[in-house]
């Protein structure tokens, strides 16, 4: 049976990649979204098992050491994120396409093991717009904001190594562009 394709979607937080992924899933029954584990605290409105599995540092280390993570990264210092291996491998085996919404460190780790995966980077229209979007979310202090913008610039610099880059200025247009990429990658395989 034909295996599914692994798509990785990255982009600085605030670029709207979460919204784009949500729209992709609603429109396509053959896509699955991997839910990551994280040691960071839930934001308002986030539900355990939906946006993330919120776990303790001890649980995270246990998963990591037992080989349960496909990739993992520490983002913004001490907070850890990782992709549970089992659901992703099972979906791909079943022929379903899978999206990982992860950062660039994680994306390059996955590409080592799955060189056929497709890397898509979502860019903000400008750094100014990115700052406004993060501010609008209201969950940042001056310090975490500076860290997020610094991290955003580093990620944008590395995005040259991605297969596709999509600017999210207009949401509908960005969703359509990513859908076209997914369609064309599927027909290639
Ligand atoms: P946030 O804390 O804003 O939800 O996510 C921060 C960053 O962590 C984002 O760039 C997001 O894509 C990334 N991220 C979320 N889950 C994972 C994961 O499982 N692995 C890696 N490497 N990065 C992740």
75 has a pLDDT exceeding 90? no
- Give the distance (Å) from ligand 1 centre to CA of residue 181: 22
Distance 79 CA to ligand 1 centre (A): 10
Res 189: pLDDT: 76
3-state secondary structure of 119: strand
Please check the confidence at residue 87 and state whether its pLDDT lies above 90.
yes
b or e along 100-123 (b: 16 or more beta carbons within 10 Å of the residue's beta carbon)? bbbbbbbbbbbbeebeebbbbbbb
Measured in degrees and rounded to the nearest 5, phi and psi for residue 84 equal -60, 130
Pick from 9, 106, 111, 151 the residue to mutate for probing ligand 1's pocket: most ligand atoms within 8 Å of its CB. Answer: 106
Atom from ligand 1 closest to the CA of residue 101: 12
For 86-100, what is the mean pLDDT?
97
Model pLDDT, residue 73:
93
**What mean pLDDT is reported for the chain?**
94
pLDDT of residue 105 exceeding 70, the answer is yes
81 Cα to the center of ligand 1, angstroms: 6
Give burial (CB, 10 Å; 0-12/13-18/19+) of 166. Answer: buried
Q: What is the pLDDT of residue 138?
A: 77
Distance 1 CA to ligand 1 centre (A): 31
Locate 52 and state its tokens. 């993330």
Predicted confidence at residue 143, as pLDDT, reads 85
Q: Are 100 and 106 in contact (CB under 8 A)?
A: yes
Residue-level pLDDT at 27? 96
Q: Which residues line ligand 1 (CB under 6 A)?
A: 10, 13, 36, 40, 71, 73, 75, 81-83, 101-103, 105-106
Walk me through the domains of the chain, giving residue ranges and CATH numbers.
6-188 (3.40.50.300)
């Amino acid at each position: 049976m034909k295996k599914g394709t692994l798509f990785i979607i990255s982009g600085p937080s605030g670029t709207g990649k979460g919204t784009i992924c949500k729209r992709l899933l609603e429109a396509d029954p053959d896509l699955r979204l991997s839910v990551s584990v994280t040691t960071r605290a839930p934001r308002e409105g986030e539900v355990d098992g939906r946006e993330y599995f919120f776990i303790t540092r001890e649980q995270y280390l246990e998963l990591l050491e037992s080989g349960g993570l496909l990739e993992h990264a520490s983002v913004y210092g001490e907070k850890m994120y990782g992709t549970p291996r089992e659901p992703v491998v099972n979906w791909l085996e079943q022929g379903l396409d899978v999206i990982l919404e992860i950062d660039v460190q994680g994306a390059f780790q996955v590409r080592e093991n799955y060189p056929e995966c497709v890397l898509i980077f979502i860019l903000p229209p400008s750094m100014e717009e990115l700052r406004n979007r993060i501010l609008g979310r209201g969950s940042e202090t001056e310090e975490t904001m500076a860290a997020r913008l610094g991290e955003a610039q580093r990620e944008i610099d590395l995005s040259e190594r991605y297969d596709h880059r999509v600017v999210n200025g207009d949401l509908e247009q960005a969703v359509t562009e990513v859908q076209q990429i997914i369609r064309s990658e599927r027909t290639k395989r």
